[in-house]
Amino acid sequence: MASFAMRAAIALIRFGGKPMRDPQKYLAVRQNRTRSEPPPMPKKLAARCTVDERKVEGQRVLTLTPHEGRSRWTLIYLHGGAYTNEMRPAHWTWIAALMEATGARIILPLYARAPEHDHRPAHAMMAALYDQLLQNIDPATIVIGGDSSGAGLALGAMMTARDAGRPMPAQMLLFAPWLDITCANPLGAAIEARDPMLGLEAARTCGQWWAGDADPTLPHLSPAFGTALGLPPIHIYQGSLDMVAPDAVAFAETGRAAGANVTLHLYEGAPHVFVAAVFTREAKEVLAHIKGLLA
């Protein structure tokens, strides 16, 4: 079981406590904000790679290519944040750790977020970006991953690509994926009081903003309502002290029962996106597993 020290460290480092504890304040900040930017890339990471920037469907896309130890892999990574937040400093730490473990070129779409935008621009960008990559590299060398809402976006985008007959990537790596933006699972509600980070009221409103006027249970918005059949092997890294965990568990169980290749790595007592604390034993174990997958 994950230690209390680990849970506290992640909560403090990644979010500074439970950001959704006061949902009205949380939502008001996002509704009334001015233009926001992601935190600057750490100098240490910038020194380790070449950074290129372009726009796809009007949205920024960064490509980080390591100077040394470059492998054959290209990893598209989508950051989390309830579809409303920019990347956080801990995302850079986690991305640097993934680059170190895999040698992958990492592509970071800085997708349009709610409430200023609904899901449509981000999904249009992901479709265009994936098609561009398929024109230039073998899909067998592509991995797609993300954390929290970013993992939900990654999975939804690949469901759309599958349904359109696009070739599939080699692997999917999902860290605490948010799979139902309606947060309808009563098992998640039962965990909420013990979840050190997330809250249902704010999450549901963020999900409504993201869906816009679309049905929020459409699989590309809430992959919990879709199927994993026809998708590449999926690895889900999930903590149990996380209100979105029950949907991840159910998705993995349903996928396996249907014949899909879905593996759930469940860490008892670990909170939402526990891998963000890269110094912990649990995060190091996940990185070692991913390194083996992409050897």
Query: Chain centroid to CA 248: how far?
Result: 13
Q: Record the tokens describing residue 147, joined without a space.
A: 């954390």
**Is the confidence at residue 264, as pLDDT, over 50?**
yes
**Is the confidence at residue 178, as pLDDT, over 90?**
yes
CA distances to 14, 31, 94, 198, 208 from 280, rounded to whole Å, are 13, 35, 12, 21, 34
pTM: 0.94
> What pLDDT score does 96 carry?
97
Q: Record the tokens describing residue 293, joined without a space.
A: 């997958």
Q: pLDDT tens digits for 220-256?
A: 999 999 999 999 999 999 999 999 999 999 999 999 9
Report residue 15's pLDDT band, with 50, 70 and 90 as the boundaries: very low
Q: pLDDT tens digits for 23-33?
A: 888 888 888 88
Whether residue 115 has a cis bond before it, omega within 30° of 0: yes
Mean pLDDT score, 101-129: 97
Q: Where are the alpha helices (DSSP H) in the chain?
A: 4-10, 23-31, 43-48, 89-102, 119-136, 149-163, 186-192, 200-211, 245-258, 281-293
Mean pLDDT score, 143-156: 98
* Residue 203 · residue 263 · CB < 8 Å: no
Phi, psi of 196 (to 5 degrees): -80, 0
Q: Where are the alpha helices (DSSP H) in 75-199?
A: 89-102, 119-136, 149-163, 186-192
Q: Which residues pair with 279 in a beta bridge?
A: none
Amino acid at 281: R
Q: pLDDT tens digits for 73-95?
A: 999 999 999 999 999 999 999 99
